[in-house]
A = this chain, B = another copy of it.
Amino acid sequence: MTDLSNRRVVLSAHPVGFPKTTDFELIEDSIAEPNEGELLLKTLYLSLDPYMRGRISKARSYAVGVEVGQTMVGGTVSVVETSRNPKYKSGDIVLSYSGWQDYELSNGQGLHKLDPVHGPKPISTALGVMGMPGLTAYVGLLDIGQPQSGETVAVSSAAGAVGSVVGQIAQLHDCKTVGIAGTAEKCRYTVEEFGFQTCLNYNDDYFDSQLKEACPDGIDIYFENVGGKVFDAAYNLMNDGGRIPVCGMISRYNDTSLPDGPDTLPRLMRAILTRRLLVKGYIVTDHSDRLNNFLSDMSGWLKRGQIRYREDITEGLENAVSAFQGLLRGDNTGKTVIKVSGEP
């Protein structure tokens, strides 16, 4: 076997503001054959997620960032092409973190084999409702939010991979769910497909007063995914003892400077103090101890039709950058996935 040709997307510049097409480059080189203990993975599906914007910034984030010239990171569903690792055999389907490329040479660490019979189906959902975004929703809502029957749960990015699951789990806990999304179409299917009681378009002129009207008993849990004016409107409606899991703030990821004044930080702190709010940032990789509970609960919910999901699948690694830009703009409808190669 000769070395394989491998296409991969590398970072060519740390983006300033909204990531430009020229901040990335699709290059083609070759990948070596596996040595003893290694295996060659072929990428089937690549997950695109908002957290990736943080990884390509220079600013401090959760994890070590991607440097210029390095391959973009990302979760994948991959198939074992060749294995010289006794734990894996050719044809195994695994959850990997191979990044934006056709192939990866792996030492076998950090892989999770997907059960061909009992595992997620379609296998792309291992990157979505049965994967990291699903677990993110599960941990944020249940462990931080701790929903009680009858409470009001407001969810930003309600049409997205995480928000849509947050709302549906909240409904299973007898909560009233109010979605927030960026287009009328997203709002429509958030209600029709995901069962939210209502969903508001934050681009509407009267969003603030609409949110207030939609939450006559205030908000007990606000699931924060966006920041900006949506956050401002929501935290002002929080009830005493309310909880705010902070999962993301996509509206701010591309900011290069702070917004103009006044400085509203003291207003937030006053709300936190006088209403005894809990505000808690989290990152799903800290909560892998919850993975088994999550997989068990979620597979039951999916089987019984209690949780629904959408995938937004784009074909071709060469379209990953534009799909990522679309994700940051909110163009996606459901979990953003790149189909890198056909299923075996």
- Which of B262, B272, B273, B283 is the one whose CB lies under 8 Å from A261? B262
**Contact A269:B255 (CB < 8 A) given known A276-B282, A282-B276:** no
Please state if A264 and B262 are interface contacts (CB–CB under 8 Å): no
Q: A259-B266, A269-B227 are in contact. Are A280 and B281 (CB under 8 A)?
A: no
CA distance A281 to B276 in the complex (A): 4
A272 in complex: contacting residue of B228, B270, B275, B279, CB < 8 Å: B279
| Given known A273-B246, A273-B281, A279-B279, contact A265–B262 (CB-CB < 8 A) | no
CB distance from A147 to the nearest CB of B (A): 18
With A261-B261, A279-B279, A279-B280 as known contacts, state yes or no: A266 contacts B255, CB within 8 Å: yes
Task: Say yes or no for A278: interface residue by CB 8 A criterion.
Answer: yes
Alpha-carbon distance between A286 and B224 when the two chains are bound, in angstroms: 26
- Of residues A62, A265, A283, which shows the largest number of chain B Cβ atoms within 10 Å of its Cβ? A265
CA distance A286 to B270 in the complex (A): 17
Bound state CA distance, A280 and B276, in angstroms? 7
| A267 located at the interface, meaning its Cβ lies under 8 Å from any Cβ of chain B in the complex | yes
Each complex incorporates copies of this chain amounting to: 2
Contact B274 A61 (CB under 8 A): yes
Residues B273 and A249 in contact, CB atoms below 8 Å apart: yes
Q: How many residues of A contact B (CB 8 A)?
A: 44
Q: Which of A59, A62, A270, A280 has the most CB of B within 10 A?
A: A270
Closest to A255 in B: B266
Interchain CB contact under 8 A, B258 and A260: no
A54 at the binding interface (Cβ < 8 Å)? yes
How far apart are the CA atoms of A227 and B271 in the complex, in Å?
Answer: 13
Contact B258 A259 (CB under 8 A): no
A286-314 interface code vs B (CB 8 A; 1 in, 0 out): 10000000000000000000000000000
User: Is B262 in contact with A266, judged by CB distance below 8 angstroms?
Assistant: no
Contact A263 B263 (CB under 8 A): yes
Asked if A219 is at the interface (CB within 8 A of a chain B CB), the reply is no
